[in-house]
Structure 1
Amino acid sequence: MLLDGEEWRDMFRSNRTEAWRLETLPQYLVPQESGELAAFRAGERIDPHTYTSAYVKALKEHHAAGKRKGRVRIVTRPLSEYLEFEFSRYYRPHVLAGEDIRILDVTNRANPLEGVQDFWMFDRSSVVLMNYEPDGCQISRELFEGDPAPFLAYQRIAVAESVPFEEYVSSPG
C-alpha cells in the first residue's frame, strides 16, 4: 500500500515509542528544500540553537512525550555539498531537539548495509519503504507487508556500526 498525505503523516502521529530511519543515498532531491539549499550555496547559515521549524517543534513534542526518533545516515568522504547542507541546516537543530542522529561512514570500508534501501520503521513493527530514483528524487512511500525482522537487523547493524552525529562532525578527517 502506497502512503501519501494524511496516511503518511498518521504514521508519525500514531507511533507509540519510536520512529527510526535509514538514509542511504548521497542526496535527496526535495522540492521544498530548493530555497534553503540556494541560501546555503549563497553562504547563509542558521543558528541551530535558535532555529525553529514545524519539524523541530514536532521533534520536541515527540521527545517530551517519551518517544524516540532516530536515524542513521550512510556517508562517504568527501561529503557532498548536499550532505554539508543537510548536516548544518537539519541535523544540528534536530539533534538539539532530541533526535538521535548517527553517521555510518563507509569511506574506506565495506558498507555493512550495501543494497538495503531507505526505510522508516515505526514502533519496531511497521516498515515503510522509501522508493527513490538513483538521483534522490522520491518515487513513493510503500507500507511493507512482510516480516519486519530483517529491518530490525538492519537497524541493529546501522546503530552498532555508526557514531553519534556530534562525535562524527567534531572528529578530524
Structure 2
Amino acid sequence: MGKLPTFEELFRGCERSAVHLEMRDGYMRSDPAFIDWSEGKRFDPADRWRSWFDIVSETTGRGVAVRRARIVSEPVSDYIRFEHEVTDGLNVASGEQVRWLPRRRTTDFFLPGNDFWVFDEHLILINHFDGNGDSLEHEFSEDADLADLLSRAFEAVWDRAVPHASYRLG
C-alpha cells in the first residue's frame, strides 16, 4: 500500500496499458445519470462525464491501450442495460476497448473478489464498493505478485469476452 494517486495521475503517467475489470451487476444506483436514464431522459455520455472522456481520450491518443472487461449476469440488470447503452458514447468514443462476458462463462476462472485497474502491468488500483454499488474507497498497490495475478485474471476474461459491438444483452 502506498499514497493513493488520482485517476488523472495514473492515466497521465501510463505508457503502455490500462486494464479494468468490472464484476458487479450494478454501481451507484443513486447516480443522477442512471436515474435520468431510468426515467427515459437521454443525454450525451461524453458531456455528462466530460473529465473522464477527456483523460481517457488523451491517454489513448498517446497510444496507450485502455481496455475494460465487464462480467455480467444474464439476463442483465437495468444498470448493465444503462452501461451498455452509454458505452458507445463514452468508453468507445474515447478510444477505450470494451468487452462483455456472461458470468456463466467464468466458472472455470479464478477471479479476484474486487474490481480493479492495472496500469502498465504494475500499478494497481482496487475498487471497493458497498452492497448497493456505491464506492467505499480505492486501494493502491505496487505489489508485483498481485499485479501479475490481476493481469492474468484480466487477460483470461478478455480472451473469452465478446467485443462491445457484438455483445447482445442477454
**Which category describes the TM-score, using the shorter chain as reference length?**
0.7 to 0.9
Residue-pair matches, total: 165
Computed over aligned residues only, the root mean square deviation of the Cα atoms, in angstroms, reads: 2.4
State the 1:83 CA deviation.
0.9
Name the amino acid aligned to 1:110: T
Question: 1:162 and 1:60 mapped to 2: Cα distance?
Answer: 23
Say which is worse superposed, 66-75 or 137-146, in terms of deviation: 137-146
Change over 3 Å in CA distance of 1:161–1:20 after alignment to 2 = same
Matched position secondary structure for 1:70? strand
Name the amino acid aligned to 2:88: R
Aligned equivalent of 1:68, options 65, 70, 76: 65
Matched position secondary structure for 2:167? helix
1:101 aligns with 2:98: yes
Say which is worse superposed, 36-45 or 156-165, in terms of deviation: 36-45
Change over 3 Å in CA distance of 1:107–1:62 after alignment to 2 = same
Q: Does the Cα contact within 8 Å between 2:11 and 2:56 map onto a contact in 1? A: no
Question: 1:142 and 1:30 mapped to 2: Cα distance?
Answer: 22
Q: Does the Cα contact within 8 Å between 1:2 and 1:140 map onto a contact in 2? A: no
Matched position secondary structure for 2:42? coil
Match of 1:167 in 2: 166
Unaligned runs of 5+ in 1: none
| 1:36-115 map, 5 Å | 36-46=33-43, 51-52=46-47, 53-89=50-86, 91-93=87-89, 94-107=91-104, 110=107, 112-115=109-112
Question: 1:116 and 1:158 mapped to 2: Cα distance?
Answer: 14
Match of 1:20 in 2: 19
Name the amino acid aligned to 1:25: R
Name the amino acid aligned to 2:75: P
Change over 3 Å in CA distance of 1:61–1:145 after alignment to 2 = closer
* TM-score of the pair, normalised by structure 1: 0.82
Matched position secondary structure for 2:136? strand
State the 1:112 CA deviation.
2.3
Q: Does the Cα contact within 8 Å between 1:22 and 1:120 map onto a contact in 2? A: yes
Question: 1:42 and 1:115 mapped to 2: Cα distance?
Answer: 34
Question: 1:7 and 1:39 mapped to 2: Cα distance?
Answer: 28
Name the amino acid aligned to 1:40: W
